[in-house]
Amino acid sequence: ETGVTQSPTHLIKTRGQQVTLRCSSQSGHNTVSWYQQALGQGPQFIFQYYREEENGRGNFPPRFSGLQFPNYSSELNVNALELDDSALYLCASSLSGGAPTDTQYFGPGTRLTVL
Amino acid sequence: AQSVSQHNHHVILSEAASLELGCNYSYGGTVNLFWYVQYPGQHLQLLLKYFSGDPLVKGIKGFEAEFIKSKFSFNLRKPSVQWSDTAEYFCAARGGGGNKLTFGTGTQLKVEL
């Protein structure tokens, strides 16, 4: 167990809807990264938050947005859901985003299905 | 573009066989390398990591990996696998000082009794 928790575990939405996924980071960690893992693929980096600021973004459209709170927990919001957004969404927490020795520890993920 | 390749998508071994999973990366400059494992029904767990220094890195559960800079490789090895090693294994890389992990597509390992 890494101490990283995510909610909900599973979610079913329809196209066009909006969704919010939540992540609580491991105690003492100030950085949260979000990844999308499609079936049969490795995780792909969406973005990272470090001390409440976005600290890097992958190749995802602006309808993927995030937030980090003062307690370092984080939300991932996806607007105007598309069928291709169906995936496992992973949150990873780490001690110091961007530091050379930063190591990310993953939560169990939220399985999103878009119908 | 930065990328990570895992050439073995599915591997089936008998217990006690030796394991080597390939991982190649394309990064310029300093690179940090990781192997993660995902056991059935569980979350991604860190097996081992390389930042600098000794290119032979030892991880948990008897796994090790060797960083060979000239070959842009970071292969995972275990001398004798167990049934409980059945899982999906992901290699990941990050440019030194960066924040984004780039993952390979994973290798599904099945160990038969």
Q: Is A48's CB within 8 Å of B96's CB? A: no
Give me the pLDDT at residue B71, please: 94
Distance from CA of B113 to the nearest CA of A (A): 25
Q: Is B49's CB within 8 Å of A106's CB? A: no
A43: closest chain B residue by CA: B103
The encoded tokens of residue A80 equal 């105007």
Residues 72 through 111 of chain B touching chain A, CB cutoff 8 Å: 90, 92, 96-106
Strand-strand pairing, A87-94 and A110-114: antiparallel
Q: Is the peptide bond before A8 cis (omega within 30 degrees of 0)?
A: yes
A73 vs A8, A24, A25, A48, CA distance in Å?
14, 4, 6, 12
Query: Is the minimum CB–CB distance between B55 and chain A shorter than 8 Å?
Result: no
Query: For residue range B56-113, what is the model confidence (pLDDT) as tens digits?
Result: 999 999 999 999 999 999 999 999 999 999 999 999 999 866 678 999 999 999 999 9
Instruction: Name B9's Cβ contacts closer than 8 Å, sequence gap at least 6.
Output: B105, B106, B107, B108
Give me the pLDDT at residue B27, please: 82
Query: For residue range B3-44, what is the model confidence (pLDDT) as tens digits?
Result: 999 988 999 999 999 999 999 999 878 899 999 999 998 999
Q: Is B49's CB within 8 Å of A103's CB? A: yes
Q: Is B105's CB within 8 Å of A102's CB? A: no
Rounded to whole angstroms, how far apart are CA atoms B50 and B75? 12
Query: For residue range A13-24, what is the model confidence (pLDDT) as tens digits?
Result: 999 999 999 999
- Amino acid letter at B89? Y
User: DSSP string of chain B?
Assistant: --EEE---SEEEEETT--EEE--EEE-SS-EEEEEEEE-TTS--EEEEEE-SS-SEEE-GGG-EEEEEGGGTEEEEEESS--GGG-EEEEEEEEETT----EE---EEEEEE-
- Give the dihedral of Cα atoms A96, A33, A111, B11; nearest 10 deg: -80
Local structure of A49: helix, strand or coil:
strand
Q: How confident is the model at residue A99 (pLDDT cuts 50, 70, 90)?
A: confident
* Residue A100 with chain B: CB contacts under 8 Å: 30, 32, 51, 96-97
* Residue A55 with chain B: CB contacts under 8 Å: 99
Q: Which of A2, A43, A98 sits opposite B99 (nearest CB)?
A: A98
Give me the pLDDT at residue A19, please: 98
Q: Is A108's CB within 8 Å of B42's CB? A: yes
Give me the pLDDT at residue A2, please: 65
Phi, psi of B69 (to 5 degrees): -60, -40
